Structure 1
Amino acid sequence: MKELTKAEEQVMQIVWELEEASVRDVVAKFSEPKPAYTTVATVMNTLRKKGFTNKIPAGKSHLFSVKISKEEYSGYKAGSLVKNYFNGSFSSMASFFARDKKLSIQELEEMIEIAKREISKEK
């Protein structure tokens, strides 16, 4: 799986929310000042090329549908976080977040479980 840039992630968050969207649908979901239509179209085409969305003809336009779910990408990011910043150690990651009191016990356990699944997929 490829990493999303900040702009790609912003657009993908909207596509995940809508499940299927045109470029106009995505632009409409942004708060002011809204990005240019052409900018969003470029990002959405990049997301398709990266395998995150499917492009479906819809009359004279196209719809983009989710190909990689938010959960799949979240798992990938969690696994990557553990691997790259905590040397693959779930306990180091849990200790870091517990010290900073940023996550509840349940949230820590869920994050660790997701990261474990993603790391085992990479092997």
Structure 2
Amino acid sequence: MKRNSEEKTLTRAEMEIMNILWNSEDAMSTHSIIEKYPDPKPAYSTIATFLKILTKKGFINYRKAEAGNKTFYFYPLLTRQRYTSLFMQETKSTLFGNSAKAMLHFFAQSEDISDEDIEQILNMIRSNGRS
């Protein structure tokens, strides 16, 4: 059975490319993606390989430029928010027994959260109708 993009995770290198695509308002060519990388820039062939992988995994798609032009323009099929939601659901399920309480407890214990941040988090939870 073929798994769709909503059931897969991104590697660190794939995430870099996805962040570039998510931050763009338009589809991007391979050269445009490389331009967004800090120095030292990756090789064209490296980015092209990752774009093929991301296409095969179903995270991105592409369109070809006008007739006579060999340039492909890549765009995400999944929003950053949707991917983050799926990733966090999988993390909660896999590492925390599907317990949001256990996951939040872990972050509260392992992060240095200020009293002000805790108050803001509680206010966000309350404003969503949950307290």
TM-score bracket, shorter-length normalisation: 0.7 to 0.9
Shift of 1:100: 2.7
Q: C-alpha separation between the residues in 2 aligned to 1:48 and 1:26?
A: 15
Deviations 1:29-49 (A, max 9, x none): 111111001100110111111
Please report the TM-score for the alignment, with normalisation by the length of structure 2: 0.76
The aligned counterpart of 2:60 is 53
**Could you tell me how far 1:102 is from its partner in structure 2?**
4.9
How far does residue 27 in structure 1 lie from its aligned partner after superposition? 0.5
The share of aligned pairs that are identical, in percent, is 33
For the pair 1:4 / 2:24, whether they are aligned, the reply is no
- Aligned residue pairs total 110
Structure 1 length normalisation: TM-score?
Answer: 0.80
* Worse overlay, 95-104 or 74-83: 95-104
User: Structure 1 residue runs of 4+, over 3 Å off?
Assistant: 101-105
Cα 1:63–1:92 change in 2 (3 A) is same
1:84 positional shift:
1.0
Gaps of 5+ in 1: 114-123
Q: Which runs of 5+ in 2 are unaligned?
A: 1-5
* Residues 73 and 102 of structure 1: CA distance in aligned 2, closer, same or farther (over 3 Å): farther
| Structure 1: distance between partners of 2:111 and 2:60 | 35
Rounded Cα–Cα distance in structure 1 between residues aligned with 2:111 and 2:10: 27
Match of 1:27 among 34, 45, 52: 34
More helix by share: 1
Aligned partner of 1:14 in structure 2 is 20
> Alignment partner of 1:7: what SS?
helix
Among candidates 36, 39, 51, match of residue 46 of structure 2: 39
Offset at residue 99 of structure 1 (A): 1.9
Corresponding residue for 1:100? 110
Q: CA RMSD in A?
A: 2.0
Letter in 2 for 1:12: M
